Amino acid sequence: MKKYRINIMLKDGVRDNQGNAVQHILLSGHFGFEKVQNVRVGRIIEVEVEDEVDSDQLKDIALSVTNTIIEKYTIEEVNG
């Protein structure tokens, strides 16, 4: 078995309301992280697959959980 991580983020230029809310909280007086410039929020999906799954099949898995109109994804193998 192999494990892969699919990282899904909003494409550049797509407004990230969740990221803006997190940034606002971080910049607030309570936390005071004044140096935070930008926050983007995404999703991580980990899948375990049989060893013989190829890169095209992994891409199909990623595409099935990604809204490609507004999101982009990367796939990385997770060791251990």
Each residue's pLDDT expressed in tens, for the chain with a length of 80 residues: 999 999 999 999 999 999 999 999 999 878 889 899 999 999 999 999 988 899 999 999 999 999 999 999 999 999 86
| Model-wide pTM > 0.75 | yes
CA 62/CA 7 separation, integer angstroms: 9
CA distance 29 to 34: 9
Instruction: Domain ranges for the chain, please list them.
Output: 2-78
Assigned fold of 2-78: Mth169; Chain: A , (3.30.1280)
* CA distance linking residue 8 with residue 69, whole number of Å: 12
- Please give the pLDDT value at position 80: 65
